[in-house]
Amino acid sequence: MELKITTCYCLCDDFLISKGWHDDPQCTMSTAEVMTAALTAAAFFSGSYE
């Protein structure tokens, strides 16, 4: 499961880089991390974000 989550993060990060996305300097969690958390919850925990 950890390998799939890491792969998901890398894909999200590479996607955002290819689109030219830049996070706000004040954010504490990157957009790729937020996307990974949502996709992980949907894939492994039946959509439970808690």
- Per residue in 2-50, pLDDT (tens digit) is 999 999 999 999 999 999 999 999 999 999 999 999 999 999 988 877 7
The pLDDT value recorded for residue 50 is 72
Instruction: Please give the structure tokens belonging to residue 30.
Output: 């990157």
The pLDDT value recorded for residue 42 is 93
The pLDDT value recorded for residue 10 is 98
CA-wise closest residue to 16 among 34, 2, 1: 34
The pLDDT value recorded for residue 49 is 75
Q: What are phi and psi of 47, to 5 degrees?
A: 80, 5
Distance separating alpha carbons of residues 3 and 10, to the nearest angstrom = 11
